[in-house]
């Protein structure tokens, strides 16, 4: 007799979770181009004088520092290896789609000024685009083969 659990069962090929994921994924693929179109039109409709290089650089620096350092430290506290910590930091840096959706809502609601909206959209696109090169650099610096025989990492990384 199976034991009772408050948690949902893992997805199976024909289970309810798989059907839900397929449904949401299908809608996502259909609506995603619309999101980018609306974002592009919003950027195109902004006044030309709204671009601020300083705001873009500040947004990039703060976003990357917060994402990379925060996820790296979280993985360090979780006892992950240096390679895994770096990979996790690079992957969590890529949150552009979520950021763009939230920024679009904030801009349409009048919460974000055009200059801030533009700076944050550029930040979202750049941080997402950097995830591939960051992962490539991590894999080159810390190849998986050299980590195979290593003992499990401790929280201090040694």
> Tens digits of per-residue pLDDT, 99-157?
888 888 888 898 988 888 888 888 888 888 888 899 999 999 988 754 455 555 555 54
Q: Helix or strand or coil: residue 59?
A: helix
Determine contact, residues 128/90, Cβ cutoff 8 Å.
no
Tell me the pLDDT tens digit for each residue of 10-38. Answer: 555 667 777 777 777 777 667 766 766 77
Separation of first and last alpha carbons in the chain: 45
- What beta strand segments (E) does the chain contain? none
DSSP string, 72-116: HHHHHHTT--HHHHHHHHHHHT--HHHHHHHHHHHHHTT-S-HHH
Tell me the pLDDT tens digit for each residue of 53-75. Answer: 888 899 889 988 998 899 999 99
């Amino acid at each position: 007799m199976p034991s009772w659990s408050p948690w949902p069962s893992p997805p199976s090929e024909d289970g309810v979770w798989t059907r839900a994921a397929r449904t949401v994924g299908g809608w996502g693929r259909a609506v995603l181009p619309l999101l980018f179109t609306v974002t592009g039109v919003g950027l195109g409709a902004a006044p030309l004088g709204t671009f601020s290089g300083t705001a873009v650089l500040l947004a990039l620096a703060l976003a990357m520092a917060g994402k990379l350092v925060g996820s790296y430290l979280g993985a360090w506290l979780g006892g992950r290896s240096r390679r895994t910590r770096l990979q996790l930091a690079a992957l969590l840096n890529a949150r552009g789609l979520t950021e763009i959706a939230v920024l679009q809502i904030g801009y349409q609601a009048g919460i974000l000024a055009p200059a801030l909206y533009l700076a944050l959209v550029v930040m979202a696109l750049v941080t997402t685009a950097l995830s591939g090169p960051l992962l490539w650099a991590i894999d080159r610096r810390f190849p998986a083969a050299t980590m195979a025989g290593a003992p499990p990492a401790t929280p201090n990384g040694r």
